A = this chain, B = another copy of it.
Amino acid sequence: MARVVVDVMPKPEILDPQGQAVARALPRLGFTGISDVRQGKHFELEVDDSVDDETLAKIAEGFLSNPVIEDFTVRRIGA
């Protein structure tokens, strides 16, 4: 078994209202020095060693993200 992390983020040219709301709220709350916040999704999958990287990319692209507006990264973090 391996643990696989898939991070899904809005593409840079896509507006991110959730992230902007956090970024605008922080100075009001007394936290300065944060110039940008973007919010995406983080998935952790428990995966058999038989599952190859191509299959993981298909899962990430097809079911965990919307490739029109989001980018994803896949990484294995343990054996």
Residues of A within 8 A of B (CB): 1, 7-9, 19, 22, 25-26, 29, 31-48, 50-51, 55, 58-59, 62-64
Identify which of A7, A34, A64 gathers the most chain B CB atoms within 10 Å of its CB.
A34
Q: Say whether B9 contacts A33, CB under 8 Å.
A: no
Q: Say whether B34 contacts A46, CB under 8 Å.
A: yes
Q: How far is the CA of A33 from the CA of B46 in the complex (A)?
A: 8
Q: Say whether B39 contacts A34, CB under 8 Å.
A: no
Which among B35, B37, B46 is the interface contact of A35 at CB below 8 angstroms?
Answer: B46
Q: How far is the CA of A31 from the CA of B56 in the complex (A)?
A: 9
Shortest CB distance A77–B (Å): 11
Question: Can you name the residue of chain B whose Cβ is closest to the Cβ of A29?
Answer: B63
